[in-house]
Structures are given as C-alpha cells and as structure tokens.
Structure 1
C-alpha cells in the first residue's frame, strides 16, 4: 500500500490484492487480540496485584501473544478465499486506497448476502467480542481504582491505563463503525476516512501514545514546548 501511494501506481493484480487484504485482516485481528490481552494484563496488575507475578508469568504471556498471532490466520485466509471466489464482471476499479472487503463486495456480481453475513460474523468475533472483554476489564479496574484510599495510587493506576485506552478508542471505534454499520448507511468517503484511522493513524500514534508514560519523554516534551 505504501509503495502504491509513493509511486502513484494505481494498478494491482488480483493475487496481490488478495494478499494485501488477507494481511490487513490478519494483522487487524491480531491487534484486537493483543489489545484485549493488554487489558487483561492491566486488570491483573491493578485488581489482583498479589497474584499478578504468578498468573502473568513469562510462559503465560508467551502463550497469549502466540495465540493472538495465530488464532486469526485460518479464519482470515478462509474469508479472503471466499471473497475472491465471487464473480467480478463489472468495473475493476476499487474505490478505496487498499483492497478491503466492503469496496470489493460492491464490485461483485450476483447476490453477496452470504458474504456480508460472514463479514458481520467475523467482525463480531474478532472486533466486538474483544472490545466487550476490554470494557469488562476496565469496568472492574475502574471499580477497584475508585476504592483506593490514596489519590496518588489512583493517579498512578489511571496513568497506567490511559495510553492503552487511547489506542483502544482510536482502533476499535473506527473498526466497529467501518465493518458493523448497516449497508444502507455506507458511503465510500466515510469508509476511506475510517480505514485511515485503523490502518495508519493508530499504528503511527502507538509509539507516541505509549511513550508518554515515560517520564524522560514527558520532560523532553515539556522542554521542547517551553522553548
């Protein structure tokens, strides 16, 4: 995608388009699971601090990360194969800046109801369910933090979660609206803007958001601003 944007080459082969879409779906689903694992990590650290070293040991963390990476691969490969098994007998111009499911379904001939239902089902499992688990984790975290007697402890707990919450809102907010809103309310312009958020803006801001937890980075930013 970056190569196409840089060279302004607007042509892509069917195989390259399928590969691009498959990787976008796999990496997007992995991001959903990793953000859920991070929410669980924060929940254990704040709500069960005494059990944290025992539960979130190196072996458990490794399993959670590997599971996040590989669990979506067969489903997303299957979904990509299903989309590219459709007949495309009309225009071959994708009204998007990368190969994504909604603009490709618009180019498909015949009835795509089954494919749209599959998209919703996969989106519910890989987007909505992780988001729900994150909300449950943070509801328990909020309940625990508000019971802390010290204002310093509450501030420290909130600062631990703030960067993660910012990424969750940016990523899940745009992804849920893009894939789960009704077909009747879709527009190509809105889809492009939302796609920019979960494919470019969130990854670009990730290092900056998470670095703001570092005191040295905060001090450097303050010196830069006050200069």
Structure 2
C-alpha cells in the first residue's frame, strides 16, 4: 500500500467542523432575530440556541457585531438566490419591474433580516450585496443601450436601490392595519418614471438620450484607442448630464 506523504490529509475535518458550527450559529441567530427582533440576538442566547458556550461565538465571529455582519451576509446570499436573470428579456422595463418586485417580496417575507441588512451603511461592503448590484447594473446597462434610460447609469442604480429599500422599510414600520399594497405599486412606478423614458430616448428631441445610449455601448467598441474611448466617454457624459 502506498504511503501518504508526510503531513498529507485526506480530509480537512477541523475546518469542516468549524464551518458547520459557524453555519449553526448563524441559523440560530436568524431564528432569534425573526422571532424576537435584533434585541433578542445576544451572544448568550445565540450560544444557548446553538448548543455552545458563549466564548465560542467570540472565537468564530469576534464579537456580536461580527455575528450580525455574518447574519446580514447570509441574508444577502439568500436574496441573491431569489434573483432571476434573463440575459435577453423581451421587455426591458417589465424586466426592471420584475427585479424591483423580487426585492420587495424578499423584504416582506424576511422583515427582520431585511431590516438588519439595509439599515446600516456598512452592510454595502458585503460581497453578495456587490454581486446583486452588478445584476442590477446589468439591467440598467441594457436600458441605456436601448435608449430607454432617463438618467445616468449610476444615478439610476441609486434610485432603484433607494426606492426598493425605502418602500419596504416604510411598509414594515407601519401597523398592519395601515399597510396599503398601493404604497409598493406607487413606489415602483415612481421609480420607473424617474429612471426610464418608457420609449426610446433617441426618438426624443435633444441629444441627451442619444448620448446615454452611445455611452452605454462605448465599452464594446474596438475601433477606438483607450485614450479616444476615455475622451469620447467624457464628452458623452457631459452631454447626457446637460440634457
């Protein structure tokens, strides 16, 4: 029988066990958060729920804030899994609406987790959050290329994200007997009006819409040098902003 090289291991059991323990702690924290809100997520309560001693929480996450960051990251991954990405949607504006609705539905289904994810600015450092924003920017880029974007791409991303987060958090802050579904519909449609033209901007008078459409398509062009692309991009940004 061939011998294993010195130090070789067939399975990293300690690392696997640590990851399983970490997962169990996060799940226990989410359960407490869902049932009792953020105040229920104490290190002692989480340790008890996970069947551990409290010092284990500190070894795994550093402190309570580290644990909450891990719970939020888990939430961003869960949200990311709900996103449905169509690389070539038949109706770009309906695709934008569908993405907004998906985000709102996740928030309504996971109120405590959504609130934890989106009420502290530092959560935007999450890798899963960044991936979700790239999916949103892909939708926005397609709108821009089609000439359907009313504002710049970065501002559009900020408006869409803010409108979803604001609408859901406002809904969750209201007593149940005052929650009107029209709030979510109105917020979504206000977003659509703010960021899209509803018809190709290149058909409108003025150069701003055409500049946005060309600016969005510019990275795919190969006939210009890098310096020429940067210069043209700067000109198009000025025209789009002035419009």
TM-score of the pair, normalised by structure 1: 0.26
Which of structures 1 and 2 has the bigger CA Rg?
A: 2
TM-score of the pair, normalised by structure 2: 0.25
Relative contact order: is structure 1 or structure 2 higher (C-alpha 8 Å, sep ≥ 6)? 1
